Structure 1
Amino acid sequence: MDFERAKALCRSFPGATEDIKWGADLVFSVGEKMFAVTNNDSPANGMSFKVDDERFLELTDRPGIIPAPYLARAKWVYVEDGKALGDAEAEALLRRSYELVFAKLTKKLQREIGEPA
């Protein structure tokens, strides 16, 4: 997983915004709801994102992926080692994180943003 490539992907999603929270964390959101978090370093050296409930245990059993601090109860994982995921799988997981969060937005807000690509 190339964290810089992952950040570029997050920026490409419809309605995605980014801002700095908690002093040093770069947060990607849609409809003001977070779907991915990384540090603001360049290059970044880790990333957290939401996953499907049924994938949480599978992913956190892999070396280099742990339950995300403070967000594990909401089924977020933290990829601490880029070698834990290939770029294609990372892209699919980030897209799914965006979709999971987008689906929780109001129908009105979903229409305003547009359908996920």
Structure 2
Amino acid sequence: MKPRAGAKPTFHVKPDLAELERCALALPGATLDVKWGDVRVACVDGRMFATFHREVVAYKVAPDDFLALSGLPGVRPAPYLARARWIAVSDCSALTMTDLKAGLATSWKLVVQKLPRARRAFYGL
């Protein structure tokens, strides 16, 4: 299939999963686990806050941001986790690595905020 005349070429930029994993593991209490065969999962206090699998990073977002983010190019509701307001990013043309790292930190915070009070205090929230 040929591109239309005058159409801008599209460039797909895959997220750097290794860098994003390092960023996720730098967050307080974060651990990395392997689930469902080969999906690398970042957890805090045993609860997932990000997944890394086949050039796709998925993480939890604030309910107010879910619709706006999931409508961006290369971003979609995460399979099986969309009802919990997770997005899956397969192309960084709409989000920069800085945006993705901030998203991981926000996801971590959203998950920690749901922990019991004593555990939240342990993590400084």
Q: What TM-score comes out, normalization by structure 1 length?
A: 0.88
Q: Which residue of 2 aligns with 1:22?
A: 36
Q: Compute the displacement of 1:89 (Å).
A: 1.1
Q: Compute the displacement of 1:33 (Å).
A: 0.7
Q: Following superposition of structure 1 onto structure 2, how do residues 1-117 of structure 1 map, counting pairs within 5 Å? A: 1-39=15-53, 45-112=55-122, 114-115=123-124
Q: What TM-score comes out, normalization by structure 2 length?
A: 0.83
> Aligned partners of 2:50 and 2:92: how far apart in 1?
15
Question: Mind listing any 5+ residue stretches in structure 1 that lack a counterpart?
Answer: none
Look up the equivalent residue of 1:91 and give its one-letter code: K
Comparing both structures, which one devotes a greater share of its residues to helix? Answer: 1
> What is the alpha-carbon root mean square deviation over aligned residues?
1.4
Look up the equivalent residue of 2:29 and give its one-letter code: G
Larger Rg: 2
> Aligned partners of 1:84 and 1:6: how far apart in 2?
16
Relative contact order higher in (CA < 8 Å, ≥ 6 apart):
1
Q: Compute the displacement of 1:109 (Å).
A: 1.9
Question: Mind listing any 5+ residue stretches in structure 2 that lack a counterpart?
Answer: 1-14
Of stretches 99-108 and 2-11 in structure 1, the one that deviates more from structure 2 is 2-11
- Moved beyond 4 Å, runs of 4+: none
How many percent identity over aligned positions? 37
Look up the equivalent residue of 1:88 and give its one-letter code: T
